[in-house]
Chain A
């Protein structure tokens, strides 16, 4: 089993090397050792942690530290050489893409969540926009019960926030939140604890929680159900890549790890967390 996993990793590696060129294929056969520091997106972190645990199992001399700090932080840490690999959960800006090497390793979406007991079944994009700008402040205005809406919003600098604002054409300064939270998990727990709350989180994180019977529900966006399958098929309108990135000429261990993250050997882990896997092409 261990052997075959290793082989699959190798296969992925060879494929990737065909794509980007500069590496020594023999290195994979030798014993890998050393330490990797990975920082960035809190959406990516649980998945990358799971993958690192398996990777460490295959290569006992390797130690991987995964720290969260948001996508922009991941980019900054890699640029300043504080981290070997950065995790990013949004499209890269041209200025960022220029100096770094990005590798997409999974797909995710951002979707609206409500409390499971909220009778609202769908919200038009304009309604979501109205709720987040404060123009709509009571559920009765969108066909729900007479209750004030609790708008759950993310703290500045989070990738999920940027993806959300971009799709709905909102400016950060025009959002009128009632609660500001940090990562996806905190968003989910806040909405699950308040029947009148609305929030937006990673589709993968939300589906995972619904699988754990957490009291939230995902809303369709533009008529498309927010599911991993739709994200994978590219149908869901608010999609985003999950990216690992390194400096140009990354250390060998980092390259091996990224290859492993993009190999079929970890697809089960990716799917366990309700993300859509991407293979190295």
Chain B
């Protein structure tokens, strides 16, 4: 028994919902638009080629002969992410496996809580801890201690909870019947893991890995604090490096005109990397039903 007022309310409601949704989804477009608009001067006057061919990163020299080589920073971002993912992916998976297959119930809950708490710790605290705890240790190995390795280790800690939590969610979706079947066959725990659990969980684990990678690529504060921020392509783990994100954080406050514009170009590059990872992840998500 709909009254006239109610249908009008419904119409208002529906338009309100649509309006809000359009607003919420337009944020991404706004971001891309502003990144592009601010990048345009650099793309036009400097050109993409020079981000690769310039000899060095000297964005605001007194002599005015600025150079804008972005390659070392891109390399630092990719290498630190790769390093962190190489450690955090197996560690996160093992931590999830621990909770599901090895730990007694109480320990599993404890481990889960700890991983959750680690996930909630802000990046500035990870950076601070890295700076006061990790860097002095590395300094004894190879001064100054702020280097690629420090960045990789801190990033590992930061993406491990993401990977562990998602891996755990994936493992929870494996049907109990399959595990019971494996047990009935008398398979050992490792054989069960290798033969039953991992193959079934693989797509979900891949998504966990991609999300971890995404977080590592975008991380700023922690790497800014522990990586040393020297612009160079590292030749060893003990070389200080500057990632794309750290470069923006370090120079944005100081940058004017073309320099500022180039920083927006690096923001655009980060965005492109992330969209690529999200595309991959959506692809996988379509083939499995996680969440």
* Residues in B whose Cβ lies below 8 Å from that of A76: 256-257
Partner of A166, one of B56, B62, B67: B62
Docked complex Cα distance between A194 and B143 (Å) = 8
Q: Is A72 an interface residue, CB under 8 A from the partner?
A: yes
Docked complex Cα distance between A81 and B13 (Å) = 44
Docked complex Cα distance between A179 and B231 (Å) = 10
Q: Knowing A68-B253, A72-B60, A180-B242 are in contact, say whether A194-B144 is a contact too (CB < 8 A).
A: yes
* Residues in A whose Cβ lies below 8 Å from that of B67: 173
B58 touches A172 (CB 8 A): yes
A157 touches B229 (CB 8 A): no
* Residues in A whose Cβ lies below 8 Å from that of B98: none
Docked complex Cα distance between A193 and B58 (Å) = 27
Q: Mark B233-260, 1 if CB is under 8 A from A, else 0.
A: 0000000101000000011011111010
Q: Is B16 an interface residue, CB under 8 A from the partner?
A: no
* Residues in A whose Cβ lies below 8 Å from that of B254: 69-70, 72-73, 155-158
How far apart are B132's CB and chain A's nearest CB, in angstroms? 10
How far apart are A66's CB and chain B's nearest CB, in angstroms? 13
B60 touches A177 (CB 8 A): no
Q: Knowing A76-B256, A182-B250 are in contact, say whether A162-B62 is a contact too (CB < 8 A).
A: yes
How far apart are B89's CB and chain A's nearest CB, in angstroms? 30
Count of chain A to chain B residue pairs whose CB atoms are closer than 8 Å in the complex: 79
Q: Mark A166-205, 1 if CB is under 8 A from B, else 0.
A: 1000011100011111100000001001101100000000
* Residues in A whose Cβ lies below 8 Å from that of B48: none
Docked complex Cα distance between A70 and B59 (Å) = 14
Q: In which size bucket is the chain B interface? A: 20 to 34
A150 touches B143 (CB 8 A): yes
Question: Which residues of B, 56-76, contact A by the 8 Å Cβ criterion?
Answer: 56-63, 67
A150 touches B144 (CB 8 A): yes
* Residues in A whose Cβ lies below 8 Å from that of B242: 180
Docked complex Cα distance between A55 and B67 (Å) = 42
The secondary structure that dominates the B interface is loop
Q: Is A278 an interface residue, CB under 8 A from the partner?
A: no
A sample of 23 cross-chain residue pairs with beta-carbon separation below 8 angstroms, ordered by A number, consists of A70-B253, A70-B254, A76-B256, A148-B143, A155-B229, A156-B57, A156-B60, A156-B254, A156-B259, A157-B255, A157-B259, A172-B62, A173-B67, A179-B144, A179-B228, A179-B240, A180-B228, A180-B240, A182-B250, A194-B139, A194-B143, A196-B143, A197-B144
How far apart are A57's CB and chain B's nearest CB, in angstroms? 28
Docked complex Cα distance between A38 and B242 (Å) = 30
B60 touches A178 (CB 8 A): no
Q: Knowing A73-B254, A157-B255, A158-B254 are in contact, say whether A165-B229 is a contact too (CB < 8 A).
A: no
A180 touches B230 (CB 8 A): yes
Q: Is B279 an interface residue, CB under 8 A from the partner?
A: no
B229 touches A180 (CB 8 A): yes
Docked complex Cα distance between A197 and B253 (Å) = 26
Q: In which size bucket is the chain A interface? A: 20 to 34
Docked complex Cα distance between A150 and B139 (Å) = 11
* Residues in B whose Cβ lies below 8 Å from that of A196: 143
Q: Is B55 an interface residue, CB under 8 A from the partner?
A: yes
How far apart are B266's CB and chain A's nearest CB, in angstroms? 14
A156 touches B61 (CB 8 A): yes
Residue with the greatest number of chain B CB neighbours at <10 A, chosen from A156, A182, A194 = A156
A73 touches B251 (CB 8 A): no
A180 touches B253 (CB 8 A): no
Residue with the greatest number of chain B CB neighbours at <10 A, chosen from A166, A179, A193 = A179
Q: Is B146 an interface residue, CB under 8 A from the partner?
A: yes
A177 touches B58 (CB 8 A): no
* Residues in A whose Cβ lies below 8 Å from that of B250: 155, 180, 182
- Top 3 A-B residue pairs of the complex, sorted by shortest distance between their CB atoms: A157-B60, A70-B254, A76-B256
How far apart are B27's CB and chain A's nearest CB, in angstroms? 25
Docked complex Cα distance between A180 and B144 (Å) = 11
A179 touches B55 (CB 8 A): no
B229 touches A181 (CB 8 A): yes
Using A69-B253, A157-B60, A181-B229 as known contacts, list a sample of 8 further A-B pairs with CB atoms less than 8 Å apart, ordered by residue number in A.
Answer: A150-B143, A171-B63, A172-B62, A173-B67, A178-B240, A179-B144, A180-B229, A180-B230
Docked complex Cα distance between A270 and B261 (Å) = 36
* Residues in A whose Cβ lies below 8 Å from that of B240: 178-180
Determine the residue in chain B with the shortest Cβ distance to A165: B62
* Residues in A whose Cβ lies below 8 Å from that of B231: 180
* Residues in B whose Cβ lies below 8 Å from that of A156: 57-61, 251, 254, 259
Docked complex Cα distance between A158 and B259 (Å) = 13
* Residues in A whose Cβ lies below 8 Å from that of B57: 156
Docked complex Cα distance between A18 and B212 (Å) = 65
Docked complex Cα distance between A124 and B101 (Å) = 66
Docked complex Cα distance between A147 and B144 (Å) = 11
* Residues in A whose Cβ lies below 8 Å from that of B251: 155-157
Determine the residue in chain B with the shortest Cβ distance to A195: B143
A172 touches B253 (CB 8 A): no
B144 touches A72 (CB 8 A): no
B58 touches A72 (CB 8 A): no
Docked complex Cα distance between A150 and B229 (Å) = 13
* Residues in A whose Cβ lies below 8 Å from that of B229: 155, 179-181
